[in-house]
Structure 1
């Protein structure tokens, strides 16, 4: 169905025009190639039947609720996830608030209160490993039986394996990003890993060195390897700029600072403060280094710029989704 993409919360009534939809259910952190198979099946069913295409996801991620002491690197925070789902062609995402109380409800209660009463679904599509309800009592078999009783169809989707016959998972992608391997991570995501944040102020040292940077503070659980990357920068107006970015603690000038993403935009001169922008990572250049003075730092930054320009000059979209995210 054509129209404006809607981002909704599970505690509000679903607009009438979205009821009776086909819903893909899952956390979908990363919206990676495995997720895209599940999402694609939901989109195909929605188009076949002329029903709205919806995604039901859970915020915060259940692991953040049950494992409070274990930091979780979220690949796609809610706003980014919503943007990716809109690019794929969905009509709406419903972000169900996930709490211990919600998780303690029975699987049947989830079916009745969320799927039937709240969403009024006509069809559900889930991954093979989706479980719900108290003690994870609900799974694909339970959902298929519930669908027969409550009048909606169910399509479970097997795990998607990559070209090496390994299951594509968010944990694999997190591990690659923790190593700085943004190229392999992109191969599993199906698009370049992208972060977005508001541009904040900095020490303005880069400007005095001839390398003014747009500075972003990322969520504290961001476990991307500290280092220098070739990136593409998207402004709020949609305009794109190639650049080189440093993520880390800036050991030469501020070794004790909090991690910061600093992006030097090629061939750009303007004020970005307060603008919410996105950075897509195309390649790893090197790790962080502590230089003997600013002259050595500037010389290396010039080498980084040349390497990043060369890398970015030949890039092509990995997929239709990548074309919308990073091109």
Structure 2
């Protein structure tokens, strides 16, 4: 039975320890990078939530921004599955009460493991219990191992749970690395299955060469971060516009029929007209249709675009939610037809 009754809190996102709310003190913290907040991460989060319910305490995530690998290798930034805003959105969907995103710098990485525990976990957050994955390390020279954290908990009087790897139905470990590899191969079905929700990209709509309009397929053009490792090709998508989801088809690639230029993510929304320039747009990727290819004529390209659109409509019409997190993150886009003008 819980020792105290804990009233639900609105989800809070905190980037400054000085702003840490008293309402989350003496809580249960899940610690990790959580890029993707995939099914493996959610095994950690679910245990944190379970421990918190038993104790009548709040539960929240402690994570780090930017990704540590991007700090140590700035010339080779990590392909982020969930930038900070999207990560917070998915964490909120799991039922947590909040997320603390600590700024990760080389100076922060040099903090001794003992100081991380005593000054941050106990001193500022006043945790009652920590939950981490089996491979979580922290502190200078990565001295803070799971075993180190368990011993610190015994010494300082807080609980610690270390979570084993989460495997998928085929017995393979669920990991961010594996999801990035699936996206790079165009295996959207596998990536989404490992995430437990449908993956999305988000960027500002920029002006293009207006070529799609001349072809009868006007597009909203998004320049994704250069490290984005999504396979070049054609995708069935849903885009969020003014709070409603509109079905569409997207091309990610270099446009080999025309200029073979820098990669661009171009989204054609079905049955939609409107000015989207300068606005941020989130696009949920539902299915991979085919690789990018070069065509010998504009007529051949348009004929293929017609076929792509029909295939995208069919794929989108048959969607079903991947689970409660998919429903919470993607709302009406998680299944069936879209809820706007572009619904299939």
Q: TM-score range by the shorter chain?
A: over 0.9
| Unaligned 5+ runs, structure 1 | none
**TM-score using structure 2 length:** 0.90
Q: Is the 8 A contact 2:247 2:269 kept in 1?
A: yes
Inter-partner Cα distance in structure 2 for 1:152 and 1:10: 23
1:153 is displaced (CA, Å) by 1.1
Cα displacement string for residues 147-184 of structure 1 (whole angstroms, at most 9, x for unaligned residues): 12222211111110111111111111111111111111
2:3 corresponds in structure 1 to none
Q: Is the 8 A contact 2:197 2:322 kept in 1?
A: yes
**Separation (CA, whole Å) in 1 of partners of 2:277 and 2:47:** 41
Aligned to 1:232: 238
Distance in 2 of aligned mates of 1:46 and 1:274: 42
Aligned-partner Cα distance in 2 for 1:195–1:41: 29
Alignment of 1:51 onto 2:57? yes
Partner residue, 1:274: 278
Asked whether the 8 Å contact 1:11–1:97 carries over to 2, the reply is no
> 1:242 pairs with 244, 247, 250, which one?
247
Runs of at least 5 residues in structure 2 that lack an aligned partner in the other structure? 1-6, 335-344
Q: 1:34 — aligned with what?
A: 40
Matched, 1:72 2:70: no
Counterpart among 58, 67, 88 of residue 61 in structure 1: 67
1:224 positional shift = 0.4
Is 1:325 the counterpart of 2:329? The answer is yes
SS at match of 1:135: helix
Does residue 1:313 correspond to 2:317, yes or no?
yes
Contact 2:26 2:125 in 1 (8 A): yes
After superposition, the Cα gap between the structure-2 partners of 1:48 and 1:274, relative to the gap in structure 1 and judged at 3 Å, is: farther
Return the alpha-carbon distance in structure 1 between the equivalents of residues 263 and 12 of structure 2: 33
Whether 1:285 and 2:281 are equivalent positions in the alignment is no
The match for 2:259 among 247, 254, 258 is 254
Distance 1:68 1:274, change over 3 A: closer
Aligned equivalents of 2:184, 2:277: Cα separation in 1: 28
1:6 paired residue among 7, 12, 20: 12
1:178 aligns with 2:184: yes
- 2: distance between equivalents of 1:172 and 1:165? 13
> Structure 1 residue 11: deviation in Å?
4.5
How many Å separate the matches in 1 of 2:248 and 2:201? 14
**Residue in structure 2 matched with residue 200 of structure 1 by the alignment:** 206
Secondary structure of 1:115's aligned partner: helix
Deviates more, 1:135-144 or 1:220-229: 135-144
Q: Is the 8 A contact 2:69 2:77 kept in 1?
A: no
Shift of 1:68: 3.1
| 1:218 to 2:232 alignment | no
CA RMSD of aligned residues (A): 1.5
Confirm or deny: 8 A CA contact 2:130 2:161 kept in the other structure: yes
Q: In the alignment, what sits opposite 1:97? A: 103
Count matched residues.
325
| Structure 1 position 275, deviation (Å) | 2.4
Given that 2:128 and 2:159 are in contact with CA atoms closer than 8 Å, whether structure 1 keeps it comes out as: yes
**Change in 2 beyond 3 A, CA 1:10/1:113:** farther
| Cross-structure match for 1:131 | 137
Following TM superposition, by how much is the alpha carbon of 1:308 offset from its aligned partner in structure 2, in angstroms?
A: 0.7
Alpha-carbon shift at residue 4 of structure 1 (Å): 2.8
Q: Is the 8 A contact 1:13 1:118 kept in 2?
A: no
What TM-score, normalized by structure 1, do the two folds share? 0.95
- Do residues 122 (structure 1) and 143 (structure 2) align? no
**Which shifted more, 222-231 or 70-79?**
70-79
SS in 2 for 1:274: coil
SS in 2 for 1:12: helix
Shift of 1:92: 1.4
